[in-house]
Structure 1
């Protein structure tokens, strides 16, 4: 009884991994690069959310305390120090956004690379056999379509979060001068 139950559990747990393996096999070698691009992009996105949740409030309090400790806040020199504090906060908020913006168009370009290699496999299969071998052509077409699909999905999610993070940086940046009042 436990043997068949254990086998059933093992089969149930391994089934999703087999389908992921099939997905990678059908998509070709380009899917590994798309996965790597997605992992880098998601690491950067999650790092930004962690920054806004944990690091930015402390950085803001630190800069605000430095500004409030100043006795004199009206001179030209004091205004330049205030601008520096605001600029440091803006740089901290937007530090990895350019990398995220690079990863967004990279994923569909990798998908396009998979499309081209998949179609080349179709043409190779057609020339090797001398006629159209449906099985070889189907493998090449699936390779092309799966890599294109994966690249587009990664890019769409990345675009959504990139725009969301950019607007958050813009809102926070516009709010900073009001919070660090020159007096």
Structure 2
């Protein structure tokens, strides 16, 4: 329990040094990971059952060679692909937003530096350093968030493609 309290303290300190924009980076990061975990869960728990049902329906058909049968097969594959690719665009968009939110933090931090210089002058380097820190930390946080998401999103995308290809291979057309 003490470890969790210390962890929360360090997170709170980090958020305070980077300004309010870090809350938006944290929100985008949380959303991105919830979406990616949901997609991994779909691929491992839901899609195998769906694939099995589609294969069973295809195997139960008497006609698998006619034009109509091929169109039904394509429709089933298309529906499965839509379900596999659901929320992938949202994940990619969230990844792309993280550095942009961080840059917003840079702008707001630099405004703080300029306000400090305007009111206090350039004689107080400590106040300027706090503003510069507030400007650089959100950018770093946004980049780290995007990099972590990009790696796993690429893996997720390849798993989705592989799952679709395996479904196509499981539905032979004669």
TM range (shorter): over 0.9
Structure 2 length normalisation: TM-score? 0.95
- Establish whether residue 152 from structure 1 lines up as the match of residue 143 from structure 2: yes
Structure 2: state its 5+ residue gaps: none
Aligned equivalents of 1:13, 1:93: Cα separation in 2: 36
Q: Per-residue deviation at 1:176?
A: 2.2
1:40 to 11, 31, 35: 31
Structure 1: state its 5+ residue gaps: 1-8
Report the secondary structure of 1:80's partner residue: helix
Q: Per-residue deviation at 1:19?
A: 1.5
Aligned equivalents of 2:4, 2:41: Cα separation in 1: 31
1:29 to 20, 29, 34: 20
Aligned equivalents of 2:122, 2:51: Cα separation in 1: 68
Mark the structure with the bigger radius of gyration.
1
Q: Could you tell me whether the CA contact under 8 Å between 2:43 and 2:160 is conserved in 1?
A: no
- The alignment yields a C-alpha RMSD, in angstroms, of 1.4
Report the secondary structure of 1:154's partner residue: helix
- Establish whether residue 86 from structure 1 lines up as the match of residue 71 from structure 2: no
- Establish whether residue 117 from structure 1 lines up as the match of residue 89 from structure 2: no
Aligned equivalents of 1:167, 1:133: Cα separation in 2: 52
2:99 to 95, 100, 108: 108
Higher relative contact order (CA 8 A, sep 6+): 2
Question: Aligned pair count?
Answer: 174
Structure 1 length normalisation: TM-score? 0.90
- Establish whether residue 173 from structure 1 lines up as the match of residue 164 from structure 2: yes
Aligned equivalents of 2:141, 2:96: Cα separation in 1: 13
